[in-house]
Structure 1
Amino acid sequence: MIKNIEVDDVRYALDGSAGSDAIHTNPVYSYAVTRLFDDSGLTGTGFAFTLGEGNDLVCKAAHYYAGKLVGKDIEETMADFGRLFNQLSNDQQFRWLGPHKGVVHLALASVTNACYDLWAKKRGVPLWKLLNDLSPEQIVATLDLSYLEDELTHAQAIQMLTDQRSTSHQRENILQTGYPGYDTSIGWFNYSDEKVRENCKKALEEGFTAMKLKVGSVDPERDIRRAHIVREIAGDNVKVMLDANQQWNLPQAISICNKFKSMNPYWIEEPTHPDDVLAHKTLANAVAPVKLALGEHVPNKIIFKNYLQTGCASFIQVDAVRVGGVSEFITVSLLCKKYGVPVVPHVGDMGQLHQHLVLFNHISMGHEALFLEHIPHLQQHFVNPVHISNGVYITPQEPGSSCDLIALSQK
């Protein structure tokens, strides 16, 4: 039984220009951390990710949600978590502050993720194993499919998962080989051209076969020059992605994305405002065959549904610390599977949580094991940090979701 809760505001200033992009020039990587203390002595840890200011507001909202879990048994809670998620996300007063977006939804992600972590620890297994061992019915019981009935019913979700079970064993080899990663840290926005060159060479030496450059400069020629630098160093066989972090309006995006064609980007990420579904549809048509990736700032399953319905997103980057946590992440992954669109999560949480979720996506849902973003700047702060070897994530073996922070575990 959950006997107590704590929510902590944890912030880490980054060194130099790390983490910078066209919009966020001086980020402070921060977590709103929810901890659920079980009477068995276990602690479930979950978090949402922010860039500093406002992290305290997320913590306050998370405390409100987490308080409703005191006295509950985690196994009983997770057996029908979809219903609880629906109740919390539609709280009569907090819903007005969203609905299903912003501070309150980030807070719900923190609490939801703590529930999944405690559940896995209670069973003594890593989160990826817990999820893969659940039956389709048990998985769907953790999901809230409201407002998706036109695309995905409970019966359809169960059938989709059931259809994959007969071949899931064929995909379990990923547990031994490791899940491929890609390096985002080669080209933070404020890095010099020379720093980008050095980082590209280092990434290749470390075994990465894909990497990402931040773009969105006031002068587009700077972006084009730097993109060609990365392509020159990486060669034609390495996937190179470009990330504008929402910097361009639609006319700018059409013009600049077409200019990038000469260096053959694997995708262009967040080219314009994340709420503007129709602009992305127009853009996708205008710059084809260049592909668009999005999801870092898409807050809920409804907007993801709309993106999938328009067919403009070639890669969905749903983030379990941006949407309402693991539950909504799985829901979006099911929608993507229906539409045949790869899920490549945004890794604002340094991959600690998502390394588990992509294994579930691949093994139990049949998603392609494309790759997972790797950002190393906070790894030293985790009790069980991700391990990357030769460009791949080594499968975590410790119980839980790998989200325990050293500073809090020592309190």
Structure 2
Amino acid sequence: MKKSILIQSGQSRDIHFALENGAGSDAVHSTPVYAYAVCSLQTDSQLEGVGLALTLGAGNKLVCDAIDYLVQHIEGKEINELMADFGTTYKKMADDPNLRWLGPHKGVVHLALASVVNACFDLWAKSRCQPLWQLLIELSPEELVNTMDFSYFEDILPREEAITLIKSQAAGRESRLGILKDGYPGYDTSIGWFNYTDEQVTRNIKKSIDQGFTALKLKVGSRNATRDIRRAELVRKAAGPDATIMLDANQQWNLPKAMATCRQLLAIDPFWIEEPTHPDDIQAHVSLAKEVSIPIALGEHVPNKIMFKNFIQSGCMSYNQVDAVRVGGVSEFLLISLLSRKYNVPIVPHVGDMGQIHQHLVLFNHISLGHPAILLEHIPHLKDYFKFPAQVMDGKYITPGEPGLSADFKEFVLEKKVLSQ
């Protein structure tokens, strides 16, 4: 049931979480501080729209400043009227001439856009008393594409083709609804943070497997490749031959080193190598894909639909890791999902937000677009701070039932703003 909800004002919140004891560490961040640039939409009702963008550290304040500017585009709008043609408003925000030289469509302003957009989708779902996944799968193809901006996609996925693609997936939709009961399969990133000792990694693997996970990820990207090789072999030995092992280099290798190290890593039969080199270097990824048989996963630091368009067309991307708190929010995520479906590139999102939002989006991708239900990353460190944290049982995400996109923090988080794990 639709409720008429007027957005009266919007504001940002700068919230930091200091991780401890090596948690969250990778080849770039030795003492990470997870930060959320939060957009809060106040309305003429008791409902509040909450959106997130993820950063690390002090740069979060810059994103919050941009949020406070962008919300003027949606203040005074009724949420259902806004979302009925949201693609138009999205384009106006993304192309705002006052911020365009700070992007366009990347960096601080695009992260801010993500937070504002996600808050709009959260409020929309709450106004209909539905979890976001349910709202999305019940929209007509036309209503769905109205939330997107197809600029620069006219040559590869025009609006009418997108509608046809969605309709073409209706045949198997009923059987795919079973995922709601079965749960979406997860994989555990928290076993192998970069600064964990070998002993910690070994203990974490056993704990993770006992919790039902069969897929695990190790952080690599060391200056000395022998450390990465040794730790990868340790993970394979501890997890066993049937476990799915992913490796994440966090963009630390140049192309020659990526080729050399990946050839050595082949011995542990990795499911993918994630972000093996600079995230903007499409040609390097193409060259690596031609030379080394390990599938490439990327997308965490791919900033917008145009870069995804080019990566997808290049053929080097085996797994698409688009993140709805890094690109321009749910709207751009959905558009990228459609293009990825056209090219049969499966989506396994990056989920620095712990999967709170993406647990909804992968359900939509599977049920409505026919994307395979492969895996969804799970990072458990901040779950105690959310009102409705993502729930994982026996290695699978339990389908969320609360209205919205699961981004609401508990009150004490909003009061303190900086917390330790």
**Bucket of the pairwise TM-score, normalised by the shorter protein:** over 0.9
1:263 and 2:268 correspond: yes
Match of 1:239 among 241, 244, 248: 244
Match of 1:142 among 125, 144, 147: 147
Shift of 1:149: 1.3
RMSD value, Cα: 1.0
Q: Which residue of 2 aligns with 1:294?
A: 298
1:21 and 2:26 correspond: yes
1:309 and 2:313 correspond: yes
Q: CA 1:153 to 1:68, structure 2 compared with 1: closer, same or farther past 3 Å?
A: same
Q: Which residue of 2 aligns with 1:333?
A: 337
1:357 and 2:361 correspond: yes
Q: Which residue of 2 aligns with 1:322?
A: 326
Q: CA 1:410 to 1:92, structure 2 compared with 1: closer, same or farther past 3 Å?
A: closer
> Residues of 1 paired with 2:144 and 2:73: CA distance?
22
1:376 and 2:380 correspond: yes
1:86 and 2:91 correspond: yes
1:2-401 correspondence runs (5 A):
2-288=7-293, 290-401=294-405
SS in 2 for 1:29: strand
> Residues of 1 paired with 2:109 and 2:11: CA distance?
17
Q: Which residue of 1 aligns with 2:3?
A: none
> Residues of 1 paired with 2:414 and 2:248: CA distance?
37
| TM-score after normalising by structure 1 | 0.98
- Matched-pair contact (CA < 8 Å) for 2:20–2:31: no
1:31-68 deviation per Cα after TM superposition (whole angstroms, max 9, x unaligned): 00001112122000001001111100000001111122
Q: CA 1:239 to 1:23, structure 2 compared with 1: closer, same or farther past 3 Å?
A: same
Identity fraction in percent: 59
Shift of 1:236: 1.6
Shift of 1:237: 1.3
Q: How many residues are paired up?
A: 410
Q: CA 1:282 to 1:29, structure 2 compared with 1: closer, same or farther past 3 Å?
A: same
> Residues of 1 paired with 2:46 and 2:205: CA distance?
45
> Residues of 1 paired with 2:390 and 2:399: CA distance?
9
Shift of 1:4: 2.0
- Matched-pair contact (CA < 8 Å) for 2:11–2:67: no
SS in 2 for 1:19: coil
> Residues of 2 paired with 1:228 and 1:311: CA distance?
29
> Residues of 2 paired with 1:221 and 1:194: CA distance?
18
> Residues of 1 paired with 2:341 and 2:242: CA distance?
27
Shift of 1:313: 0.7
Shift of 1:26: 1.4
- Matched-pair contact (CA < 8 Å) for 2:47–2:126: yes
Letter in 2 for 1:219: N
> Residues of 2 paired with 1:149 and 1:228: CA distance?
46
- Matched-pair contact (CA < 8 Å) for 2:15–2:414: no
Shift of 1:235: 1.3
1:56-111 deviation per Cα after TM superposition (whole angstroms, max 9, x unaligned): 00000011111221110000000000111111101112111101000000000000
SS in 1 for 2:63: helix
SS in 2 for 1:306: helix
Shift of 1:255: 0.4
Shift of 1:407: 3.1
- The more displaced of 66-75 and 262-271 is 66-75
Q: CA 1:194 to 1:410, structure 2 compared with 1: closer, same or farther past 3 Å?
A: closer
Structure 1 spans left out of the alignment, 5+ residues: none
Letter in 1 for 2:241: D
1:404 and 2:421 correspond: no
Letter in 2 for 1:377: H
